[in-house]
Chains A and B, each alone.
Chain A
Amino acid sequence: MSPAALACVVALAWGAPQDGYGVHELRLEGPLGAVVLEGSGWRTSVVGEVGPGEVCTLVVPIVAGDAPRGAAPGAPLLSPADGAGDAVLTPAIAAAPEWDALPAGLRRRTLPPVAARLPGPGAAHLALLCAVAVLILAAWRRTPAALALGLAGALACFVLPQRPPQPSAVEVLEGDGASGRWLVVRGAVGTLELSPDRPGWCESIPASAKRRLEVTLDGGPHWALEGEGLALYSLAEAGRLGRLDPERNELADLASVWRRDGAGRWSAHGPWGHDEALPAAVEGGGEPPGWLVSVLPQGVGITVGRAEAGAAGTPRWVRWIEGPSFGERR
């Protein structure tokens, strides 16, 4: 590998900057149908109607970065896309967090993989296929009828409504023993709800012009990351939730736990209750997912676990690295 290629790989692995979004106040005067704010790499869309004469003040997330074209340095470009109203944006009331301010141990974690669970054909599609096949086979000698039936069946396969993709989401609590800080990483495909009014980081794989931060006025406002077909991630600092050292679980009840000691030996420990010491290793405790135990620092104790599923059955995982990560030693 050439030095240039090596430098590139190192930059990718160590830099991996997420896009930080800050919190701004947005004052809307109707009539307005939609407002689009061009951030850096992400656009913020306000979805909803503001009636004539109506005034609405809401808090919106905007990805900070280089100033977009036509905007003052640091200020996002405001463009009322629909309506004759007005929209006024304040400076950030909560600045976008600095990714580099996080401990290195938290910045070097792998993102959990997410993939849309595509539904198979519905019962209507299969019934249609069977009916067409039975009719064609029953009239096997009639070529025009077979072709006509086959064509009609093929068209119907495209016309019949398809079941929507099943939501797929994952949440990981990333803990850093050196600093005691935690990071909440959430991932989903296509759409991901965000905690409103809080700055954080967002990421999409792949980076795409389709990705946006969406604020929905109706029944809200609600914040969400949107991007059809994209793997979307939100990251936010969770503060100091407690340590997860073998002596005591200060975090929460965990359904299954695996631990790697400093020598690199993995062991399964089964469920681990809150405020309890790590149970003894058990046989046949299963395996943690590969992505959860990959690209981890060597020579330090690591605990990974599965927590109780979140809302809508979202799997929740925990990863705790006990000591300073590689590169942080002083």
Chain B
Amino acid sequence: MSRSEAALAWVLSVAPCAAWGAARESLGDASRLALAAAVWLALVGFPAAPDPAGRAAGAARAWPRALGLALAPAALAARLDLQAGHDPRILWVTSVVAALLFAVLGEARHAAARGGGRGLYALSWAILGPGGLGLYAALSWAAPGSGEPFAPVAWLARHGPLGWAFERLSVEPAPAPWLGVAASGAILWAAGRIDGRRCSSGGGER
């Protein structure tokens, strides 16, 4: 994760808290912590662009630094959630699971970047991340009745890391499908590792 990407995620995660009055009109009591988690997971998991020139330089992981940058906005969001009446236990679970997913996605992206990126990990991310969510939203919007979209699409949307974060927006979120969320995290992590092994020369993420 580059410095500019991290800065963008920071701005996006702080905005709903900083513009509290205006955001409250549209967001209501939605969990600011879950919103911040969604922003950070979306950017930390976004596949890195291939950068052959940068492979030789600095193999250090960027996600722990990004995690450091995310901590303060997440803490502020959690405090505002507490003040708005969210259950502390739910906030704890959201925090811990978001941190775990952050590490899994960051590590997978880092490993995939070592292999040149845009391989299996990018495909998995597209399906389990924004692709699944977007397809689910499109099918829900286009559906003539109140029926559920195609079941596999619904599964992808609800069990991906971003879908999980969006489900946590509610004051009283439904019990998370932990097995499915863990499975999607494992799939993404494995995809990143497979991508990383394809290139034996190694390299670094920017």
Binding site for B on A (CB under 8 A): 118-121, 125-126, 128-129, 132-133, 136-137, 140-143, 145-151, 153-158, 162, 165, 229
Contact = CB atoms under 8 A, between A and B. Distances in A.
B65 A129 contact: no
19 contacts: A119-B20, A121-B17, A126-B18, A129-B76, A132-B72, A133-B7, A133-B72, A136-B68, A143-B61, A146-B67, A147-B71, A148-B68, A150-B70, A151-B68, A151-B71, A155-B75, A157-B76, A158-B75, A229-B85
Interface of chain B: mostly helix, strand, loop or mixed: helix
B79 A157 contact: yes
Given A121-B17, A146-B64, A162 B83 contact: yes
B56 interface: no
Given A119-B20, A120-B21, A147 B75 contact: no
A136 B76 contact: no
Contacts of A151: 68, 71
Contacts of A126: 14, 18
B69 A162 contact: no
Given A133-B10, A141-B60, A153 B20 contact: no
Given A120-B18, A129-B72, A147 B64 contact: yes
Contact of A158 (B10, B17, B21, B79): B79
B143 interface: no
B20 A136 contact: no
B156 interface: no
Contact of A143 (B14, B65, B70, B71): B65
Contacts of A132: 69, 72
B49 interface: no
A153 B77 CA distance: 13
Contacts of A229: 85
A125 B67 CA distance: 19
Interface of chain A: mostly helix, strand, loop or mixed: helix
B3 A118 contact: no
- Kindly name the residue among B68, B69, B79 whose own CB sees the greatest number of chain A CB atoms within 10 A: B68
Interface string B2-37: 010011001000100111110010000000000000
A121 B72 contact: no
Contacts of B65: 136, 140-143, 146-147
B68 A149 contact: yes
- Kindly name the residue among A121, A147, A229 whose own CB sees the greatest number of chain B CB atoms within 10 A: A121
Nearest to B21: A120
A201 B77 CA distance: 39
Interface in B36-91: 58, 60-61, 64-65, 67-76, 79-80, 83-85
Contacts of A157: 72, 75-76, 79
Given A136-B65, A136-B68, A120 B80 contact: yes
A154 B71 contact: yes
Contacts of A149: 68
Report, nearest first, the 10 A-B pairs whose CB atoms are least far apart.
A120-B20, A153-B72, A150-B68, A146-B68, A154-B75, A150-B71, A157-B75, A146-B65, A154-B71, A147-B68
